[in-house]
Amino acid sequence: MGKVLVIDVQKCIGCMSCVTACKDEHVANDWSPYAKPQPDYGHFWINVEKMERGTIPKVKVTYIPVLCMHCDNAPCVKACPAKAVVKRADGVVLIDPAKCDGCRQLKSKPLCIEACPFNAIYFNEALSIAQKCTLCTHLLDDPKWKHGPRCVDSCPIEAMIYGDDGDPKIRELLSRAESLKPDHGVKPRVHYLNLPKPFISGCVVDPEEKEVVIGARVTALDLYTSEKREVSTDELGDFWFTGLEWNHKYLLKVEKEGYESKVLGVLTVDKDVNVGDVFLEKRR
């Protein structure tokens, strides 16, 4: 039982309201003992990573809000020599600004910053302390506060959901959710829905007629799993394979009655792929 965030990446519109609200809450406001003020600029206790996908004209943008994951197996807690990073009973990880000395004696960046796999911890040079998202616990601990963490409250489309993992509604979401860097074993308490999976797209054209080819059969054979997918080109001649597996290799083929079939070759999907215009020659 404890606090969790579920972020639906498919809903995020990249408006930066969460980033702004976080700064509004923490810059120039001293929430000790939870946190000292965040500097005017340079810190992103929540950041929105932008992923530009594909090439013109098959371009999409996916935004992924990234903040402290409040890991249950938090590397920062283990790394801190001053025992300033604490895990609360409700799952929230806090850096006690009174205990943190910024690892001054070690003459290095604070070790928690080095330890975090998500680059979610920042160094406040003026105060010589490490700082990060507190999940706005200074607000959440006040029973009169109704709005959740500021980032969640400021999201216009409810792409961020805050709750308790004992709540059945949240549990249902968690059953479908993933975490960033799942193989690290750090057990994040920030979970993601609909993390991006790559696409392959293209447009099938009859160059002689100068017309798009509608209803062409396009197949993508996953050469690793042998799974074969098939789509038809739509009214604009486009085909889209979505939800592919990262780094798999696909054999792509286009067929249409009356045209010579075309093998597009083997594509490695280490990024989203727009194969561009595929010209089909009429069968003579």
Partner 1 sequence: MGPPIPLYKALEEALPNSIFPSPFRGGGEELKAAGEGVRVEYLPSGLGGFCYSPPPMEVYVKNNRVIRILPCHIPDDVRLWEIKTDRGTFTRPRKAVPHPHMLAYKNRVYTPTRVKYPLKRVDWSPENPNPQNRGKSGFVRITWDEALRIVVDMVKRIKEKYGDTTPILVQADGHGQSGFLHTLHFYGHMLFHKLGTGWTQQVRNPDSWEGYYWGAKLVWGFDPTLGEPYQDGTWDNVLQHGELVIFSGCDPETTAAGFSSHVSHLCEALKKAGIKVIGISPDLNYSEAVWADRWIPINPCTDAALYMAVAYVWIKEGLYDEEYVKTHVVGFEDFKRHVLGEDDGTPKTPEWAEKITGVPSWTIKALARLWAKKRTSLAVVYGGPKVRGPYSHVVGRVEAYVLAMQGLGKPGRQFLRFWISQRVNIKDIAALPTYAEVTAETRQSLYIDRADYANRAYPPPALPLIKVLVPDAILNPPITWWCSGSQLNKVDDLFVKYRYPPRDDHPGIRMIWNENSCYTTCWHGYQYIEALRSPKIEFHLVIHPWFENDALFADLVLPALTDFEVADLVISGRSEIVGFAYHDKCVEPIGESKSDYEIHRMIAERLAKEFGKPELAEAFPDPETVHKSFYERTMLYKKYGITWEEFKKRKVFFYSHPTWEEWVEIKKRFGYDAYDSFMSKFYKAGTGLETPTGKIEVQSQLALKHAPDDKERPPVARWIEHGDLPTSPKKEKYPFLLCSNHPKYRFHSQCDEIIWLREVYKVKGPDGYLYEAVWIHPSDAEKLGVKTGDVVMIYNDLGAVLAGVMVTERIKPGAVSIDHGARVDMISVDDRIDRGGAIDLIVPVSSFKYRRGEEMRVPEQICSGILVGVKRVNPLELMSKYPQAFQKKMHPIIGPVTEAYVVG
Residues within the interface to partner 1 (CB under 8 A): 11-17, 19-21, 23-25, 27-29, 40-42, 52, 54-61, 63, 142, 144-147, 150, 153-158, 203, 205-206, 210-212, 214, 235-238, 277
Element (DSSP H or E) covering residue 59: strand 58-67
Longest CA–CA separation in the chain, Å = 81
Give the amino acid at 113: I
By beta-carbon proximity to partner 1, the closer residue of 1 and 27 is 27
By beta-carbon proximity to partner 1, the closer residue of 41 and 284 is 41
CB of 236 to partner 1, least distance (A): 5
Strand partners, 58: 55
Pair 221, 250: CB distance under 8 Å: yes
Measured CA to CA, the distance from residue 253 to residue 218 in angstroms comes to 6
CA angle 92, 97, 102 (to 5 degrees): 110
Q: 12: closest CA among 55, 60, 58, 59?
A: 60
CB of 52 to partner 1, least distance (A): 6
Pair 88, 1: CB distance under 8 Å: no
CB of 154 to partner 1, least distance (A): 6
Measured CA to CA, the distance from residue 192 to residue 174 in angstroms comes to 8
Helix, coil or strand: residue 176: helix
By beta-carbon proximity to partner 1, the closer residue of 17 and 137 is 17
Measured CA to CA, the distance from residue 122 to residue 51 in angstroms comes to 22
By beta-carbon proximity to partner 1, the closer residue of 99 and 279 is 279
By beta-carbon proximity to partner 1, the closer residue of 24 and 260 is 24
CB of 266 to partner 1, least distance (A): 23
CB of 182 to partner 1, least distance (A): 25
Strand partners, 193: 8
CB of 272 to partner 1, least distance (A): 10
By beta-carbon proximity to partner 1, the closer residue of 34 and 82 is 34
